[in-house]
Copies of this chain bind each other. A is one copy, B any other.
Amino acid sequence: MSEETRSRILEAGAELIHQRGFNNTGLKDILKAADVPKGSFYFYFDNKEAFGIELVDFMRQRFAEIVLPLVADTSISPLERLHAFFDFFIAHFASQGFTRGCPFGNLAQEMSDLSEPFRAKLEEALNGLAKTFTTLLVEAEECGEIPADLNLEETAIFMVQAWHGAIIRMKVTKEASPLILCKKTIFERLLK
């Protein structure tokens, strides 16, 4: 048992499940992609559900590595950082041909009804993103960049929701326009 092998399985699982969905991805394929012998999965994880739940934390860590530098870049204003967040992910999805979408949104849709521990873990993940938005909105309000009478927590939650819905339409249309419309509506209608 090595931590490195364990990480390799998580890495391969994150990639394949993001492409194909959780139930549509076999452990066999994940182990093959990770170049790990077939039988060894259960040395590392209790079962596929436990693996999936741990995968959410693994993905959150990778997500934080991307997002925290964007959000903490005080060389630009809070609202500019929010712009940078959306622009980063619009470019990211474009680079993938508008496939895959948000790994947390995907699992939330697929797994929330099928596994209670999975659901609880995904609720944490979605709340984490809302919290990131709330933090930026609080700073933006302090700078006078957004109206003073907004309910910032509700606005942040709505932004996460609208973004996840935009990603669903993006996967269907294979275009940036749903994401751009979402960003535009947030900045021009909700935060003005």
Contacts and interface: CB of A to CB of B under 8 A. Distances in A.
A119 interface: yes
A100 interface: yes
Interface in A165-192: 165-169, 171-174, 178, 181-182, 185, 189-190
Interface stretch (A20-28, A45-53, A64-72): A20-28
Contact of A185 (B119, B158, B164, B171): B158
A109 to B, nearest CB: 5
A82 B3 CA distance: 54
Contacts of A110: 21, 24, 109-110
Stoichiometry, as copies per complex, reads 2
Interface residues of A, number: 43
B157 A105 contact: no
A98 B58 CA distance: 27
A172 B122 contact: yes
Given A24-B23, A160-B165, A161-B166, A172 B119 contact: yes
Given A24-B23, A114-B20, A158-B185, A109 B178 contact: no
Given A99-B113, A109-B106, A189-B190, A160 B169 contact: yes
